[in-house]
Amino acid sequence: MPDIAIERRSFLKATLLTGGALAIDARVALAGTAGEAPVALNAFIRIAADNSITIGAKNPEIGQGVKTMLPMLIAEELDVDWAQVRIEQTHAAEKLFGPQVAGGSRATPVNWLPMRRVGATARSLLVQAAARKWGVDPAGLATAGGVVTHEASGRTARYADLAAEAAALPPIDPENVKLKDPAAFRIIGTSIGGVDVPAIVAGKPLYGIDVAMPGLLHAALEVCPVFGGTFRAGNLDEVRKMPGVRHVIVIKGNGQAESLYDGVAVLAESWWVADRARQALDLQWDTAGLEGFSTDGYAAEAAARMGAKPDAELARHGDVEAAFAAAARVVRADYSYPFLAHGTLEPQNCTALVKDGKVEIWAPTQNPEPGRKLVAEALGVPPEAIRINMTRSGGGFGRRLMNDYMVRAAAIAAQVPGTPVKLLYARTDDVRRDFYRPGGWHRFAAAIDGRGRLTGFTDHFITFGQDGKPIRSAQMSPFEFPAGCVPNLAYGQSLLATNLPTGWLRAPGSNALGFVFQSFLDEVAVAAGKTLPDLMIELLGEPRDLPWLPNAPALNTGRARGVIDKVCAMAGWGKGARLPEGRGRGFGFYFSHMGYFAEIVDVAVSAEGEARVAKVWVAGDVGSQIVNPVNAINQVQGSVIEGLGYALSGQAITQVAGAVTQENFHDAPIPRIGEVPEIVVEWVITDNPPSGLGEPALPPVIPALANAIHAATGKRIRSLPITAEMLAG
């Protein structure tokens, strides 16, 4: 957004609207002055002379629709027509705009009230300005379409005609402003297309990869293929002499994947030249102590550890040993899942300019403020000397919560001060320099009594960690379902070492745990002579709250039952005609990120072992309000497609001698359009605050698919990805 000096009064209003703990930013978006120039009513709203309204979208846009959704909340309470609205991305400035993160499906629950209060407070100021102008009681004024009306006299005034006066009024405490009754919503709850879609269709520059400016140099960066290796020597002078090469720079790292590994950067006026020269590098790396890590080694160690006592106990309830001793039947099974890469269509990239002690960054980041801190530490500059411009991201899925590309671009640019540098990862770089979803192994056992009830449940979870703690995204909650619903339960955990950096992948933890727990519970249900929905309803019992994650909302069993009943009704579960041979339906449920989702998959499996999903039914409960229905459905459908891809597309990451072996989409594939099934989405609206839905629809589809394959073939899927060899015959 344009950088215009913000007046002190406007700044104070911004302070009130975003929580009070703000500091003045010298380059604040959405500011303005009276007259023909736009007028800022607060940090998010600018009103132009033609009565158009510019609203700032504060969170990173990674395809989840937040650049449209958050301004919808503001526009609704401001009481303007959507046709009047123009949306601009703000820069990163949490002290001004509040939290700016794309992750954890938190955009709606965190901003549902604050962004509505932004609009409502601005509307209140405009009403006060009109009341003063006309000498009337504000209670007698109404607003609609960016116009204030005095109903008794018929007088009207556009917001543009009142903006300067409104901006001069004393700030209003947003906690005291009245919000609309949801029954009066005209924008919230309507389907509005993404604001960037016309530009995307036209191929206009929006993404980090599109950044261009005079004098820009392109950088290709080589790092050790073994994670954590350090630079020793190489043919740098030889590469410096290659045509078109401007610089060859050694980057000394701090050994931290999140910020800086050692590397050698080649700079040129085109990325093609830089990358070709990068390929001519002949570098020597010190990888001592790092080459012993491998996929086969992890599997062998996990197998050896599985039968031993867990390193630590996560949860224990009741008398587990007695439950198993008295069981009429015991079900046992081992499950596993691989490391996964994120596979964003836009590879990681960042443009940086270091000049006169200041740093300016253009980045497709999901979480800019930690990046600011890392850059400040790496370059030795104060955080306030760094400006981060957030570009649109061509996919994130959690990968861009890490800001390694930002730190690396800044570190390279710092060696050519005054010259903007764009760092771009090649696809192979992107696959081999990821922060991977960690793999894991589970040994389950379930005790079933003579009445078919689940009376005991155990899991020995083998994951990755060090110093007794799981590494990033490798954790399992002690409250993982069916904890709280089985009287005798024990969860244990053992840790393996790895040099692979790990990170959050869409629906972190849940994307793996949903598969293993719901698939094993389907085995338990079959052994007990039940279907999984029946077993789930039996375990959930009467509506009540169950602990879920520390410092997080509880799992409400009534809401869980609501989506289970809904999806079973949608698909006609148990009521349809017998399916033909090789065809089956499976069920899965999961609660994560405050969202409740139940899903049923219809799959056909050929004699050759090809599994083709025909249809997926999805029922979701994300509270009382769907802000943008068309985008909500898109998000759920995207989650389902992504989950099916993890299961069927062979996306497993393998490691040999400390390095990842995959190179590109040919050996780390993602789903293609022809593989996408029909996906039907319906909502269970409940009287709960709205929650996010970018992630919680993903976990149930993987076990639903695995359980559908069992229904079709009688074969259990206990490891991913699913291959034709598993299913053939």
Instruction: Indicate whether 218 and 171 sit together in one domain.
Output: no
202-211 pLDDT tens trace: 999 999 999 9
pLDDT of 477 reads 96
DSSP string, 457-515: EEEEEEEEEETTEE-TT----TT-TTTTTSSEEEEEEEEE---S-B---SSTTHHHHHH
Instruction: Indicate whether 310 and 282 sit together in one domain.
Output: no
Instruction: Indicate whether 176 and 259 sit together in one domain.
Output: no
473-513 pLDDT tens trace: 999 999 999 999 999 999 999 999 999 999 999 999 999 99
pLDDT of 551 reads 80
| Cα–Cα distance, 444 to 429 (Å, whole number) | 37
88: left (phi over 0), alpha (psi -120 to 50) or beta: beta
In a domain, residue 429? The reply is no
| Cα–Cα distance, 115 to 99 (Å, whole number) | 12
Cross-strand partners of 317: 489
pLDDT of 552 reads 84
Q: Which residues contact 434 (CB under 8 A, 6 or more apart)?
A: 341, 342, 399, 501, 503, 653, 660
Boundary-marking domain end, from 370, 397, 424: 424
pLDDT of 7 reads 40
Instruction: Indicate whether 413 and 483 sit together in one domain.
Output: no
In a domain, residue 50? The reply is yes
pLDDT of 8 reads 35
pLDDT band, very low/low/confident/very high, at 22 (cuts 50, 70, 90): very low
Q: What are phi and psi of 96, to 5 degrees?
A: -100, -45
pLDDT exceeds cutoff 60 at 19 = no
In a domain, residue 356? The reply is yes
In this structure, how many other beta carbons lie within 10 angstroms of the beta carbon of residue 554?
Answer: 15
Could you give the number of structural domains in the chain?
A: 3
- Domain at 269, CATH number: 3.30.365.10
Instruction: Indicate whether 140 and 256 sit together in one domain.
Output: no
In a domain, residue 2? The reply is no
| Cα–Cα distance, 587 to 92 (Å, whole number) | 42
The stretch 50-55 carries a mean pLDDT of 98
Give the residue, 10 or 291, on which the prediction is more confident. 291
| Cα–Cα distance, 208 to 433 (Å, whole number) | 18
In a domain, residue 237? The reply is yes
pLDDT of 32 reads 39
Q: Are 134 and 721 in contact (CB under 8 A)?
A: no
In a domain, residue 430? The reply is no
Instruction: Indicate whether 626 and 644 sit together in one domain.
Output: yes
Q: Are 143 and 149 in contact (CB under 8 A)?
A: yes
The stretch 262-291 carries a mean pLDDT of 98
Least confident of 42-51, 101-110, 545-554, 668-677: 545-554
pLDDT of 445 reads 98
pLDDT exceeds cutoff 80 at 243 = yes
564-579 pLDDT tens trace: 999 999 999 988 778 9
693-726 pLDDT tens trace: 999 999 999 999 999 999 999 999 999 999 999 9
| Cα–Cα distance, 381 to 358 (Å, whole number) | 8
Average pLDDT in the chain: 94
Token reading at 185: 């919503």
pLDDT exceeds cutoff 70 at 129 = yes
Residue written as tokens 């990033």? 472
Inter-CA distances, 641 with 527, 673, 727, Å: 30, 10, 21
383-431 pLDDT tens trace: 999 999 999 999 999 999 999 999 999 999 999 999 999 999 999 999 9
Instruction: Indicate whether 633 and 691 sit together in one domain.
Output: yes
pLDDT band, very low/low/confident/very high, at 547 (cuts 50, 70, 90): very high
Inter-CA distances, 344 with 68, 211, 278, 369, Å: 21, 18, 23, 21
pLDDT exceeds cutoff 90 at 2 = no
Percent of the chain scoring above 90 in pLDDT: 93
Boundary-marking domain end, from 199, 223, 258: 199
Token reading at 511: 């994307």
In a domain, residue 395? The reply is yes
| Cα–Cα distance, 601 to 585 (Å, whole number) | 5
571-616 pLDDT tens trace: 999 887 789 999 999 999 999 999 999 999 999 999 999 999 999 9
Instruction: Indicate whether 356 and 492 sit together in one domain.
Output: no
Task: Output b/e per residue, 352-366; b: 16+ Cβ within 10 A.
Answer: bbbeeeebbbbbbbb
The stretch 289-306 carries a mean pLDDT of 97
pLDDT of 17 reads 41
Boundary-marking domain end, from 143, 165, 199: 199
Instruction: Indicate whether 599 and 496 sit together in one domain.
Output: yes
In a domain, residue 3? The reply is no
pLDDT exceeds cutoff 60 at 16 = no
pLDDT of 254 reads 96
Instruction: Indicate whether 272 and 214 sit together in one domain.
Output: yes
Domain that holds residue 151: 8-199
pLDDT of 36 reads 74
- The candidate with the shortest Cα–Cα distance to 150, out of 137, 158, 160, 141, is 141
Token reading at 562: 């609501």
Instruction: Indicate whether 62 and 195 sit together in one domain.
Output: yes
pLDDT exceeds cutoff 50 at 27 = no
Instruction: Indicate whether 352 and 405 sit together in one domain.
Output: yes
